[in-house]
Chains A and B, each alone.
Chain A
Amino acid sequence: MAIAKAERLMNLALCLLGTRRPLSKRELRGSIEAYLEAGSDDSFNRMFERDKDDLRELGLVIETVENLDGDVGYLARRDSNRLPPVTLDAEEAAALGLAAKVWQQARLAGAASGALQKLRAAGLPEEVDPYEPHSALEPRIPVHEAAFEPLMLACRDRRPVVFEYRKANAARPEARHVEPWALECWRGHWYLAGWDRDRGAERLFRLSRITGKVRSRAGKFTAEVPDVVTVRETVASWAGEIADRSAKLRLRAGAGYPLRAKATSVRELGDGWDELEIPYGHGMDAWLVEFGPDVVVLEPAELRADVVDRLRAVATG
């Protein structure tokens, strides 16, 4: 049976960490059983390159050193691989323990517990007084979008990408060339902010609208990355969260609790109806139509007309 990959990686890591002088490929191959069994030089070389990349992903700083004879050697120096001293008390440890559990995405969940394990190995306190009251809340960060992981890596490494994207009302997806800046999760959905190369402007994308694979592009970013990338404010305004207008409606008594909760004033009309003043933003018309015959928009006229248009569409079905 082939030797398990974890065993091979572990051996390479220990060899590189345990040496004081650079080890040549030949020496490493002679020290690690899995490499001896690799067969051809080609398959060993491929395996070795992949393994080095994997260890670097795990945070290992591996140096490539050339000696006077031109031979290449590898080592992981202690001073560049050591965790600086970090002292956390039991409360801080418990708080990080809660944080490490929130990811529902395999790669980040693995990375978060890996970080905690490294801290644990460095002496992070384990015992927490079980009688100390803590918030009962269990926060979770959902990641359902397939585009998340490749975009996360592209943001991290500042690599341009291309993907097929379907705009809200578009019949067909279209290719978008993007320099990805940042990802943000709001209300359980992920958004990407970045530079759209074709449009020559900053754009925001909703990850669930990306169809197909996210592919990396060679080369560097061409546009400057802003210091602060705002995602949430923009999305919130599109979701109608930013109320910049005010409407007057009639609402059937007892109905439409969420409208009442947002209203600035509620006046009983006495005939089984109430009159509400309510601040609103984008998308209000579609929401009001949900209440069917329990809502009548009085003002403004354009909102009223939008609601009537939507009702007509449903009535003629």
Chain B
Amino acid sequence: MAANAIDQTRRMLSLVTYLRERPGARIADVARAFGISEDELISDLDVLPLCGTSFRGGDLLDIDTDGERIWWHNPAALSAEAAAPLRLAADEATALLVAARAVATLPGLREGDREALLRATAKLEAAAGETAGASDRLSVTFESEGGVFAEVDRAISERRRLWVRYYSPARDELTEREVDPIRLFALGHTYMEAWCYRSEARRTFRLDRVAEIRILDEPAAPPELELRDLSEALVQPSADDPEVVVEVGPGGRWVAEYYPHDSAEELPDGGLRITLRTPDPASLRRLALRLGPDGRITEPGDLAQSARRAAVEALAAYEAADGETHGAPHSAPHGEPHDEVHDAPGQGRGQGA
């Protein structure tokens, strides 16, 4: 693939500079320094001997490896000047600077790490010079997510168990659990991956839903687990989960953006028929209520029914109250926002435990 050829070329140019300074460098060390696998490094080493300032007259780079160390037999094939470290490309400066600035805003970052990052960012900006100019056209903000971050961070580094009171929006309830924290990650929101003793399973907790937290004296002893792959969606419905069908009008299309789904079929009115799976359809009653005039759940029938019942019961409370106060004045319906962006649900849609 072309993108790989670009990345490989970029890497090999740096490798040439790096190897020229370090005769007999170890494969394992070089792979670690470059953040690549040993196999990737070997495949670069297969290409480098085919490269040089000319393929005629022995100008090719004579680089080979005995499987453990890398030897360059004719470093003079490339002058020191030609092998000097290369300036950063605009995309490289942007990618690293935007990421560094974003990470520096992480509320839970240790102060020492933040200071190191800010120093590094300033030096990088200076080294990148004008190629850093376009980096202010991209920015990323991480959320603060309450004050429990420091406790989780400390519990992980001290390998201690945690007690949490955790809010589950699906059931609108708080539950108390003991968990052994495994890692903290930020992906839109900040999450803790942990072994949960209440459910005897690995669970992902959103930190802004932790209502209370305490570090316990017991050491954490989570079972050996393979860490989840953060490049995949946090919510991974299983094929065995029951199916839910939601029909929304144009104003409810956001559902397809917030809920992983099997299919979203366009409807003639500009709406969508969305089919999704969830282990716990009852948890979607909240969605049915939130949608209001913008959509409804059509399957399963008992879920649709329970949303209707909840709405009827809620209305009864208003009618009772109105009876007492002789009716509240009725205003015009809520105007549509005239902005370009949908009024995204303020509470966000992450995975609860």
Q: Measuring CB to CB, which residues of chain A are less than 8 angstroms from any residue of chain B? A: 3-7, 9-11, 13-15, 17-19, 30-33, 54-55, 57-61, 78, 80-89, 91-100, 102-104, 106-123, 126, 133-142, 152, 155-156, 165-172, 181-189, 191, 203-206, 208-209, 231-232, 234-235, 238-241, 254-258, 261, 281-287, 289-296, 298, 301-302, 304-306, 308-315, 317
Most buried by B among A107, A235, A293: A293
Q: Does B55 contact A (CB under 8 A)?
A: yes
Specify which chain B residues have a CB less than 8 angstroms from the CB of A136 in the assembled complex.
153, 156-157, 183-184
Specify which chain B residues have a CB less than 8 angstroms from the CB of A9 in the assembled complex.
5-6, 9
> How distant is the Cα of A89 from the Cα of B137 in the complex, in angstroms?
28
Q: Are A116 and B87 in contact (CB under 8 A)?
A: no
Q: Are B253 and A166 in contact (CB under 8 A)?
A: yes
Q: Are B337 and A168 in contact (CB under 8 A)?
A: yes
The residue of chain B having its C-beta at the shortest distance from the C-beta of A138 within the complex is B185
Q: Does B93 contact A (CB under 8 A)?
A: yes
Q: Are B184 and A138 in contact (CB under 8 A)?
A: yes
Q: Are B3 and A110 in contact (CB under 8 A)?
A: yes
Q: Are A238 and B13 in contact (CB under 8 A)?
A: no
Apart from A92-B119, A111-B96, list 14 A-B contacts with CB within 8 A.
Answer: A10-B9, A10-B47, A14-B82, A57-B6, A59-B92, A106-B3, A117-B34, A135-B153, A137-B149, A168-B337, A170-B250, A183-B138, A185-B140, A310-B289
Q: Are A189 and B344 in contact (CB under 8 A)?
A: yes
Q: Are B331 and A138 in contact (CB under 8 A)?
A: no
In the assembled complex, 12 residue pairs joining A and B whose CB atoms fall closer than 8 Å, in A order, are: A9-B9, A17-B82, A57-B6, A58-B10, A95-B117, A111-B92, A113-B35, A171-B269, A182-B138, A284-B346, A293-B317, A302-B334
Q: Are B304 and A255 in contact (CB under 8 A)?
A: no
Specify which chain B residues have a CB less than 8 angstroms from the CB of A257 in the assembled complex.
167, 172-174, 211
Tell me how far the C-beta of A193 lies from the nearest C-beta in chain B, rounded to whole angstroms: 10
Size of the chain B interface, CB-CB below 8 angstroms: 147
Q: Are B137 and A258 in contact (CB under 8 A)?
A: no
> How distant is the Cα of A167 from the Cα of B314 in the complex, in angstroms?
31
Say yes or no: A185-B141 contact (C-beta < 8 A), given A33-B55, A83-B88, A134-B113: yes
The residue of chain B having its C-beta at the shortest distance from the C-beta of A232 within the complex is B141
Q: Are A54 and B6 in contact (CB under 8 A)?
A: yes
Tell me how far the C-beta of A203 lies from the nearest C-beta in chain B, rounded to whole angstroms: 5
Q: Does B326 contact A (CB under 8 A)?
A: no
Specify which chain B residues have a CB less than 8 angstroms from the CB of A111 in the assembled complex.
89, 91-92, 94-96
Q: Measuring CB to CB, which residues of chain B are less than 8 angstroms from any residue of chain A? A: 2-18, 29, 32-35, 47-48, 50-56, 78-79, 81-82, 84-96, 98-100, 102-103, 106, 108-110, 112-113, 116-117, 119-120, 123-124, 126-127, 129, 131, 134, 136-143, 149, 153, 156-157, 167, 169, 172-174, 183-190, 209, 211, 230-231, 250-251, 253-254, 257, 269-271, 285-286, 288-293, 296, 304, 307-308, 310-318, 321, 328-331, 333-334, 336-337, 339-348
Q: Are B270 and A170 in contact (CB under 8 A)?
A: yes
Tell me how far the C-beta of B10 lies from the nearest C-beta in chain A, rounded to whole angstroms: 4
- How many residue pairs link A and B with beta carbons under 8 A? The number is 467
Q: Are B313 and A292 in contact (CB under 8 A)?
A: yes
Tell me how far the C-beta of B18 lies from the nearest C-beta in chain A, rounded to whole angstroms: 4
Q: Are A81 and B87 in contact (CB under 8 A)?
A: yes
The residue of chain A having its C-beta at the shortest distance from the C-beta of B346 within the complex is A240
Say yes or no: A304-B96 contact (C-beta < 8 A), given A14-B51, A59-B88: no
The residue of chain A having its C-beta at the shortest distance from the C-beta of B79 within the complex is A18
Q: Are B14 and A91 in contact (CB under 8 A)?
A: no
Specify which chain A residues have a CB less than 8 angstroms from the CB of B291 in the assembled complex.
314
> How distant is the Cα of A302 from the Cα of B328 in the complex, in angstroms?
9
Tell me how far the C-beta of A287 lies from the nearest C-beta in chain B, rounded to whole angstroms: 6
The residue of chain A having its C-beta at the shortest distance from the C-beta of B114 within the complex is A95
Q: Are B102 and A141 in contact (CB under 8 A)?
A: yes
> How distant is the Cα of A298 from the Cα of B93 in the complex, in angstroms?
54
The residue of chain A having its C-beta at the shortest distance from the C-beta of B329 within the complex is A301
Which one of B11, B124, B310 contacts A117 once the chains associate, using CB atoms below 8 Å? B11
Specify which chain A residues have a CB less than 8 angstroms from the CB of B50 in the assembled complex.
3, 7, 11, 33
Q: Are A103 and B5 in contact (CB under 8 A)?
A: no
Tell me how far the C-beta of B139 lies from the nearest C-beta in chain A, rounded to whole angstroms: 5
Specify which chain A residues have a CB less than 8 angstroms from the CB of B85 in the assembled complex.
82-83, 118-119, 121-123
> How distant is the Cα of A98 from the Cα of B2 in the complex, in angstroms?
27
> How distant is the Cα of A209 from the Cα of B346 in the complex, in angstroms?
18
The residue of chain A having its C-beta at the shortest distance from the C-beta of B296 within the complex is A317
Tell me how far the C-beta of A226 lies from the nearest C-beta in chain B, rounded to whole angstroms: 12
> How distant is the Cα of A152 from the Cα of B29 in the complex, in angstroms?
34
Q: Are A169 and B35 in contact (CB under 8 A)?
A: no
Specify which chain A residues have a CB less than 8 angstroms from the CB of B347 in the assembled complex.
258, 287
Specify which chain B residues have a CB less than 8 angstroms from the CB of A137 in the assembled complex.
106, 108-109, 149, 153, 184-186, 190
Say yes or no: A289-B290 contact (C-beta < 8 A), given A13-B9, A114-B11, A283-B346: yes
> How distant is the Cα of A292 from the Cα of B285 in the complex, in angstroms?
9
Most buried by A among B13, B102, B156: B13
Q: Are A308 and B337 in contact (CB under 8 A)?
A: no
Q: Are A135 and B231 in contact (CB under 8 A)?
A: no
Specify which chain B residues have a CB less than 8 angstroms from the CB of A310 in the assembled complex.
289, 292-293
Which one of A86, A121, A311 contacts B314 once the chains associate, using CB atoms below 8 Å? A311
> How distant is the Cα of A129 from the Cα of B193 in the complex, in angstroms?
26
The residue of chain A having its C-beta at the shortest distance from the C-beta of B139 within the complex is A184
